């Protein structure tokens, strides 16, 4: 638990200190936000705000993860600590590498999108097909590695079954089906977080809550391995989630209204993919629908708007994503963000509660 807390604190400090440096550097390079011409008028003031801020917390997360493991490799075990508890999580694991690799790889897809926006001076980057192909490729590679690479105990990160809080025995979907499903979860969650990233601090704060929930779930699975014997490297899962949560929390200091920097697709796609990876690794794929309830609401309302307009020529909402609807209805941006954070917190609380209730049921 100490390594998890120290990792989160280290990532927080690195991002808190590193973000102002990135802001100055990005301003010098004139890497600024291009605002949608059809968006709320209040967003005109955001024109030119540095973006690609996701680079900062992605780098801080990777550096923190490596430093924590370097520290654990140097510092000897506490002689009063059980040998098994001491050895778990001290070495860099495949689980940690795959989760951070997914985080970085999807961040690269987002970076390419952000780079084109800046280079072409427009609010749209990669075309939809290219962006989707990149996301599917990253999700599929993660799916393959998650399903086919076992550890010494024969456990893989992914599973051939769809999971809620545990693998559902009768939902066996074979290796190929599992790869497709994992890729779908990764791509859909990445885009859900990306859609949520439209107001100062909204996606960042919401992601911190979800990541903290997965850090808690991973640590709980580590402490109760008899109940969750098929979870691979649960302490590593908890560590990665805590580190990225800490990094995002440090970024939120500068990203809260009025934002000095935006995470861009670099950060939003990376965060969404990582959250999906954590759900796969903790075998809580369907529980993610509850824990990430705000992201689900954003996506569902987006789909409702598209279907309604194409089928009936009418819009249900003034504008999507949903937070822009409330902006056009006259809500102040800070009120929308805080209220959406409350919705995110409710989803996280219910999701963690369901997870704990299942634990009590098994006991």
How many whole angstroms separate alpha carbon 37 and alpha carbon 29?
Answer: 23
Could you tell me which residues come within 8 angstroms of residue 349 by beta carbon, excluding any fewer than 6 positions away?
none
Q: At 40, is the pLDDT very low, low, confident or very high (cuts 50, 70, 90)?
A: low
Query: What local confidence, expressed as pLDDT, does residue 127 receive?
Result: 81
How many whole angstroms separate alpha carbon 108 and alpha carbon 149?
Answer: 24
Summarize pLDDT for 152-208 with one digit per residue, the tens.
Answer: 677 889 989 999 998 888 888 899 999 999 999 999 999 999 999 989 999 999 999
How many whole angstroms separate alpha carbon 31 and alpha carbon 51?
Answer: 6
**pLDDT exceeds cutoff 80 at 292:** yes
**pLDDT exceeds cutoff 70 at 295:** yes
CB atoms within 10 A of CB 42: 11
Query: What local confidence, expressed as pLDDT, does residue 125 receive?
Result: 63
Could you tell me which residues come within 8 angstroms of residue 267 by beta carbon, excluding any fewer than 6 positions away?
53, 54, 55, 57, 58, 107, 110, 197, 203, 204, 251
What b-and-e string marks burial along 17-34, b requiring 16 or more CB atoms within 10 Å of the CB? ebbeebbeebeeeebbbb
**pLDDT exceeds cutoff 90 at 31:** no
Read off the tokens for 176: 């190929």
Query: What local confidence, expressed as pLDDT, does residue 146 receive?
Result: 95
* Of 271, 269, 265, 326, the residue nearest 297 (C-alpha): 326
Could you tell me which residues come within 8 angstroms of residue 28 by beta carbon, excluding any fewer than 6 positions away?
none
Q: What is the mean pLDDT of the chain?
A: 90
Range of lowest pLDDT (10-24, 155-169, 198-212, 270-284)? 155-169
How many whole angstroms separate alpha carbon 187 and alpha carbon 164?
Answer: 19
How many whole angstroms separate alpha carbon 250 and alpha carbon 99?
Answer: 20
Mean pLDDT of 346-356: 98
**pLDDT exceeds cutoff 80 at 316:** yes
Percent of the chain at pLDDT exceeding 70: 90
* Of 208, 202, 206, the residue nearest 255 (C-alpha): 202
Q: At 57, is the pLDDT very low, low, confident or very high (cuts 50, 70, 90)?
A: very high
Which residue shows structure tokens 């999580």? 89
Q: At 41, is the pLDDT very low, low, confident or very high (cuts 50, 70, 90)?
A: low
Q: Quickly list H helices, the chain.
A: 2-28, 54-74, 83-87, 94-120, 128-148, 174-196, 202-223, 234-255, 264-281, 288-291, 293-312, 322-328, 333-362
Mean pLDDT of 332-340: 96
How many whole angstroms separate alpha carbon 182 and alpha carbon 279?
Answer: 10
Q: What is the 3-state secondary structure (H, E, C) of 137-193?
A: HHHHHHHHHHHHCCCCCCCCCCCCEEECCCEEEEEECHHHHHHHHHHHHHHHHHHHH
Domains contained in the chain, number: 1
Query: What local confidence, expressed as pLDDT, does residue 300 receive?
Result: 97
CA dihedral 225, 227, 230, 236 (to 10 degrees): -40
Q: At 39, is the pLDDT very low, low, confident or very high (cuts 50, 70, 90)?
A: low
Read off the tokens for 299: 């996506």
Query: What local confidence, expressed as pLDDT, does residue 342 receive?
Result: 98
State which residues form the domain around 163.
2-362
Mean pLDDT of 278-307: 97
- The C-alpha angle 102, 108, 109, rounded to 5 degrees, equals 95
Query: What local confidence, expressed as pLDDT, does residue 43 receive?
Result: 59
Query: What local confidence, expressed as pLDDT, does residue 71 receive?
Result: 86
How many whole angstroms separate alpha carbon 150 and alpha carbon 156?
Answer: 4
Could you tell me which residues come within 8 angstroms of residue 250 by beta carbon, excluding any fewer than 6 positions away?
11, 12, 13, 14, 15, 16, 17, 19, 57, 60
Q: What is the DSSP letter of 50?
A: B
Summarize pLDDT for 74-94 with one digit per residue, the tens.
Answer: 876 655 554 555 555 567 889
Range of lowest pLDDT (58-67, 168-177, 238-247)? 168-177
CA separation, residue 82 to residues 79, 112, 213 (Å): 8, 46, 26
* Of 51, 44, 10, the residue nearest 266 (C-alpha): 51
Range of lowest pLDDT (43-57, 91-105, 228-242, 291-305)? 43-57
């Amino acid at each position: 638990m100490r390594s998890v807390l120290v990792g989160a604190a280290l990532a927080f400090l690195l991002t808190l200190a590193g973000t102002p440096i990135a802001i100055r550097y990005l301003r010098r390079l004139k890497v600024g936000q291009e605002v949608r011409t059809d968006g709320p008028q209040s967003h005109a003031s955001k024109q030119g705000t540095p973006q690609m801020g996701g680079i900062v917390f992605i780098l801080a997360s990777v550096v923190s993860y490596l430093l924590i493991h370097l520290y654990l490799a140097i510092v000897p075990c506490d002689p009063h600590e059980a040998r098994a508890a001491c050895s778990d999580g001290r070495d860099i694991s495949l689980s940690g590498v795959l989760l951070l690799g997914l985080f970085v790889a999807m961040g690269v897809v987002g970076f390419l999108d952000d780079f084109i926006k800046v280079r072409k001076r427009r609010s749209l980057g990669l075309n939809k097909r290219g962006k989707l192909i990149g996301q599917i490729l990253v999700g599929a590679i993660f799916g393959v590695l998650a399903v086919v690479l076992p550890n010494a105990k024969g456990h893989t990160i992914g599973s051939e079954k769809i999971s809620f809080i545990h693998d559902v025995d009768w939902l066996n979907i074979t290796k190929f089906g599992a790869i497709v499903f994992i890729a779908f979860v990764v791509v859909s969650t990445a885009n859900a977080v990306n859609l949520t990233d439209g107001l100062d601090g909204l996606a960042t704060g919401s992601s911190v809550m979800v990541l903290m929930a997965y850090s808690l779930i991973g640590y709980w699975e580590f402490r109760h391995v008899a109940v969750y014997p098929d979870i691979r490297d649960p302490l590593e899962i908890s560590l990665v989630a805590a580190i990225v949560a800490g990094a995002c929390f440090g970024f939120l200091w500068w990203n809260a209204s009025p934002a000095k920097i935006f995470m861009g697709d670099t950060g939003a796609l990376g965060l969404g993919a990582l959250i999906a990876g954590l759900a796969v690794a903790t075998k809580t794929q369907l529980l993610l629908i509850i824990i990430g309830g705000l992201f689900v609401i954003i996506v569902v309302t987006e789909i409702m708007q598209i279907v309604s307009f194409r089928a009936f020529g009418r819009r249900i909402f003034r504008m999507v994503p949903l937070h822009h609807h409330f902006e056009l209805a006259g809500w102040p941006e800070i009120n929308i963000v805080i209220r959406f954070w409350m919705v995110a917190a409710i989803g996280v609380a219910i999701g963690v509660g369901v997870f704990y209730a299942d634990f009590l049921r098994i006991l």
